[in-house]
Amino acid sequence: MTRDTAIFDVIRCERERQMKGIELIASENFVSDQVLEAMGSVLTNKYAEGYPGHRYYGGCEVVDIAENIARDRLKQLYGAEYVNVQPHSGAQANMAVFMACLHAGDTFLGLNLSHGGHLSHGSAVNFSGLMFHAIGYDLDEATGRVNYDDLEQKARTHKPKLIIAGASAYSREWDYARIRRVADEIGAIFMVDIAHPAGLIAASLLDNPLQYAHIVTSTTHKTLRGPRGGIIMMGKDFDNPWGKTTPKGEIKKMSALLDSAVFPGTQGGPLEHVIAAKAVAFGEALTPEFKTYQTQVKKNAAVMAQAFIDKGYKVISGGTDNHSMLIDLRTKFPDLTGKVAEQALVSADITTNKNMVPFDSRSAFQTSGLRFGTPAITTRGLKEDQMPWIVDLIDHVLQAPLQDSVISAVREEVNRTMTQYPLFAW
Ligand SMILES: Cc1ncc(COP(=O)(O)O)c(C=O)c1O
């Protein structure tokens, strides 16, 4: 077959876009060459429904080795007793937990989407909100932190079967012990979704929720810097029969329920090329260099948040404990929406995303906020002294979001600087 230039031209353009810009989307990162190589390997050709040693297809003895390496490394990374590395994405991992723990229509509690929660934590347009009865807890308006009183009160009133901590736009440490106490009080399962801070937790720079939660889910592609995918883990509670009763009337161990909720419950064949790439990423995350990297991610975020504050921006909660921050544009630019701000910054090759802020007066399509994160620029090699420079560039653009001359001057400076930070070896 002749080379598919239509697609390979797209890949070349995307590669150039990634190289020339400043990538500030908090959920993105740049994987290593070995992670890319594993993902683009012949393992994509193999069907392997089931789990290592128990497959529904022949010829799985080789991919079994990769999946077992991924499982062992992941257990070591977080001190987990049980892991499942097959979920195709973070949302799939969460769906499997719902399937293992709840019946359709059951009540669960998660952080409101408009306060930083994720779609799969109860949004009305997601399976979690469509098939289950979702109750949302909020942030505190004054502090910008989780309102634990609200969470506890809603837990006691609604008696959810599942309580979810974790978020897509929340920059502070969680009080997992407090949530576990109320979960135990009402007999709920406590799940933490660490999709965003997974890398910082792996590097012991944030509290490890495996000590408190029954179940932990994550993506592997954000701070953890692996391929796109999901994982499920359990700590000491893995052996407990907390799951729902099966149609045969048996009460199964939660680990067995989770395995069957992933396959055959919600997925078919696992992506063994992606699982191999997850194994590579977990191996990288076990090295001292990864801890150095995560320390820099956190330092860059703290300096960036302070630089925004110094320029008169409102940073929700007044700073960050992790890799991300949420800016409320209304204090500095009352008429500027997140949508217009995002478009102006993207035109200047600074990529970020509009985001609702807690108690936002605008819709999710307009928003009053922007979310920023430092995982990707830290992988590029940028250090804390460059964070005020980035905030200056952002500020220039937001002062004049519709002025082409300002945007092209910023874009030239961004492109000139980023060529000094090479990205891919091949
Ligand atoms: C907290 C959280 N959970 C789950 C997900 C879903 O991950 P995926 O996009 O891989 O389905 C995200 C993605 O942004 C997230 O932020």
Q: What is the DSSP string of 236-262?
A: GGGGS--SPBPTTSPBPPHHHHHHHII
Q: pLDDT grade, residue 287 (50/70/90)?
A: very high
Q: Which residues contact 337 (CB under 8 A, 6 or more apart)?
A: 329, 354, 362, 366, 367, 368
Q: Which residue's alpha carbon is at the smallest distance from atom 9 of ligand 1?
A: 90
Pocket residue to mutate for ligand 1, from 86, 112, 120, most atoms within 8 A of Cβ: 120
Report the C-alpha gap between 76 and 98 in whole angstroms: 25
Q: Which residues contact 194 (CB under 8 A, 6 or more apart)?
A: 166, 201, 209, 216, 217, 218
**Shortest CA distance to 117 belongs to which of 154, 163, 160, 169?**
169
For the chain, list the domains and their CATH numbers.
34-285 (3.40.640.10), 288-418 (3.90.1150.10)
Average pLDDT of 142-157?
Answer: 98
Average pLDDT of 242-247?
Answer: 55
For residue 243, is pLDDT > 70?
no
How, if at all, do strands 215-219 and 230-234 pair? antiparallel
H/E element, 355: strand 353-355
Average pLDDT of 143-169?
Answer: 98
HSE-CB for 333 with a 13 A CA cutoff: 21
**Which residue is catalytic, options 222, 252, 314, 354?**
222
Active site residue 219: yes
Tokens of 2: 């002749």
Q: What is the pLDDT of residue 253?
A: 84
Q: What is the DSSP string of 153-177?
A: HHHHHH--SEEEE--SS--S---HH
pLDDT digits (tens, 9 = 90+) for 41-69: 999 999 999 999 999 999 999 999 999 99
Q: What is the pLDDT of residue 241?
A: 53
Q: pLDDT grade, residue 250 (50/70/90)?
A: low
Average pLDDT of 312-326?
Answer: 98
| Amino acid symbol at 272 | E
Q: How many CB atoms lie within 10 A of CB 5?
A: 9
Q: pLDDT grade, residue 237 (50/70/90)?
A: confident
Q: What is the pLDDT of residue 252?
A: 76
Residue 120 · residue 255 · CB < 8 Å: no
- Map residue 222 onto helix, strand or coil: coil
Q: Which residues contact 291 (CB under 8 A, 6 or more apart)?
A: 203, 204, 205
Within 6 A (CB) of ligand 1 lie 27, 89-91, 118, 120, 166-168, 193, 195-196, 219, 230
Which atom in ligand 1 lies closest to the alpha carbon of residue 117?
A: 1
Active site residue 159: no
Q: What is the pLDDT of residue 343?
A: 98
Scan for tokens 């920059």, then name that residue: 171
pLDDT digits (tens, 9 = 90+) for 169-186: 999 999 999 999 999 999
Tokens of 231: 């994982």
Q: How far is the CA of 257 from the centre of ligand 1 (A)?
A: 22
| Amino acid symbol at 311 | K
Q: Which residues contact 74 (CB under 8 A, 6 or more apart)?
A: 80, 83, 85, 231, 233, 278, 282
- Map residue 350 onto helix, strand or coil: strand
Q: pLDDT grade, residue 9 (50/70/90)?
A: very high
Which atom in ligand 1 lies closest to the alpha carbon of residue 230?
A: 10
Active site residue 51: no
**Shortest CA distance to 190 belongs to which of 139, 228, 152, 133?**
152
* C-alpha 172 chain-centroid distance: 14
Stretch among 97-106, 142-151, 244-253, 292-301 having the lowest mean pLDDT: 244-253
